[in-house]
Amino acid sequence: MSTTSAPPSTSGVAPWRPLFLTHISKMPSPEFVFSSLHPSPSKDSPVPYLPRARYCVFRGMWAELPENKHNTAPRNERVYESDLLTITTDVRMEKVPEIFASSQGHGDVSQSQGSGGGGPVEAVFWVKDVMTQWRIKGE
């Protein structure tokens, strides 16, 4: 049986990626503040969403996650590099439905039980050793 694999992208890495990863490697624990929007508890509220922030742990870049002794599943070959930051969470946590509920299409609850697109978010890293703040926005 023969196999083929697509060659890695030749577009190159984002210009900020090497410095970001160098800075993150200097952190004792790669924690950051993750902000999302929570639907307002009252339909009479003058604003439809309220900001929510919590600390999360940066796990690595997508397709390049480090080994996890708690996950015994076989791993894919490392053939890709990515500029996509990765975090993990329990799907029962509030941030999951908050991200989906604030998206442009206002995803329903069933969509919030997995991964996919969502509403606006922001991650803020403070790397004290180099006195640098990294702010990353996305959806």
Which pLDDT does position 2 carry in this prediction?
47
Which pLDDT does position 104 carry in this prediction?
58
- The separation between CA 100 and the C-alpha centre of its own chain, rounded to angstroms, equals 14
Q: What percent of the chain has pLDDT over 90?
A: 30
Tokens of 61: 């870049």
CA distance 33 to 86: 14
Write the pLDDT tens digit of every residue in 74-110: 887 888 888 888 887 777 777 766 666 655 555 555 5
Region 120-132: mean pLDDT is 95
CA distance 86 to 112: 17
Task: Give the domain ranges of the chain.
Answer: 17-66+82-138
Region 20-49: mean pLDDT is 90
pTM of the model: 0.71
